[in-house]
Amino acid sequence: MNSKELEQKIIQNYQKDEGMMILIFAQWCVNHDLNPTELYLRAYPGQSENYALKQTIDLTVSKEESEHIPDQTLLNVLSLFGNEDLAFVVTEEINKRKK
């Protein structure tokens, strides 16, 4: 495998993992009756619509069909991808739920 092929493989793996992070976020929102698009826009108000998020929302299932996603798992995944602003908004929602 030459360096160009290796670079392409690394990019593809990152994109696949990023897609999984988006799905975990979107499903967690569904599981807690939250709108993933609204939370995303609260975290990143200056950004336009997130196409990857919009596509991924279609892959979510109802909360009754979903596996439980622990809050800390979502926060860890968001942190892994550097989504600290989104993790902050998620933490606000977790705190609201605990009150």
Identify residue 86 by its one-letter amino acid code. L
- Given the structure tokens 């993992």, which residue do they identify? 17
Q: List, for residues 16-75, the tens digit of each pLDDT value.
A: 888 899 999 999 999 999 999 999 999 999 888 888 999 999 999 999 999 999 999 999
Indicate whether 99 pLDDT > 80: no
Residue 1 confidence (pLDDT): 78
Q: What is the dihedral of CA 45, 49, 55, 57, to 10 degrees?
A: 40
pTM summary value = 0.88
Residue 5 confidence (pLDDT): 87
For the chain, the structural domain boundaries read 3-98
| Cα-based distances in Å from 98 to 29, 66, 87, 91, 93 | 15, 21, 16, 11, 9
